Copies of this chain bind each other. A is one copy, B any other.
Amino acid sequence: MKNIITIGRELGSGGRTVGKIVAESLGIAYYDRELIDEVAKQSGFSADFVEKTEENLSNSFLYNLAMSSSYFYDMFSLSANDAAPLTTQVFLAQQKAILQYAEKPCVIVGRCADYILRERDDVLSVFLYADPEKRLERAIEQYNCDKKKASELISKSDRARSRHYSAFTDWEWGSREHYDLMLNTSAVGFDSAAHIICSAFRAEPSAE
């Protein structure tokens, strides 16, 4: 039986909207931005700093990782007070919060929650994406900007999420091997996407 749903998502795919419908349908908690705020509060970082750090992981940080891959694995045993880079401190604080939230059934959008909870067998790991033109439409609406700006935001977000994800998980963002269900929300709509996620959440794989 599943207890947790993690949702990775492309900007403009409606991940937050779908996640909220799912949580409401199942009567379980929902976390995304709230998580950041909580983390920021607990760690003594400002919410603004946490947000910026997460989506703007510096190239020099990645370079350091690449130069010393054992460092990457070692750092997970560091406490948030050790001399780890600030980005790592934020990640570790988020990890702590996610582990705590996941003690009860919930939906968690983003924040590498799928990776953080990878050892548990009661997690449904979902990735939501959408057709480029639909993502543009949503970004224009969401950020109240023109098409050019929306397109830039999407490219920047894709790069940042992919970079952040691979730096902290060593997995490829949006690649099927680590997800149970991947769904194009523009093909099915938000309500059906939520319905499909709920079906998968309730599924009991037989012995096949």
Chain A residues with a Cβ under 8 A of chain B:
14, 17, 124, 127, 129, 138, 174-177, 179-184, 186-192, 195-196, 199-200, 203-206, 208
Q: Knowing A182-B176, A192-B199, A195-B199, say if A187 contacts B124 (CB, 8 Å).
A: yes
A17–B208 CA distance with the chains assembled, in angstroms? 11
Q: Do A129 and B176 touch (CB < 8 A)?
A: yes
Residue among A17, A175, A195, A208 with max Cβ neighbours from chain B (10 Å) = A208
Residue among A183, A186, A187, A196 with max Cβ neighbours from chain B (10 Å) = A187
A-B residue pairs in contact (CB < 8 Å), sample of 16: A14-B208, A129-B177, A175-B175, A176-B176, A179-B182, A180-B183, A180-B184, A181-B183, A182-B182, A188-B200, A189-B203, A191-B206, A192-B200, A192-B205, A195-B199, A199-B199
A196–B183 CA distance with the chains assembled, in angstroms? 11
Q: Do A188 and B181 touch (CB < 8 A)?
A: yes
- What residues of chain B lie closer than 8 Å to A204, measured between beta carbons? 189, 192
Q: Knowing A176-B127, A181-B182, say if A203 contacts B199 (CB, 8 Å).
A: no
Interface of A is mostly: mixed
Return A200 CB to nearest CB of chain B, in Å.
5
Q: Do B205 and A187 touch (CB < 8 A)?
A: yes
Residue among A124, A129, A138, A184 with max Cβ neighbours from chain B (10 Å) = A184
Which 5 pairs across A and B sit closest by C-beta, in order of nearness? A192-B203, A189-B205, A180-B187, A182-B182, A188-B203
- What residues of chain B lie closer than 8 Å to A184, measured between beta carbons? 176, 179-181
Return A44 CB to nearest CB of chain B, in Å.
38
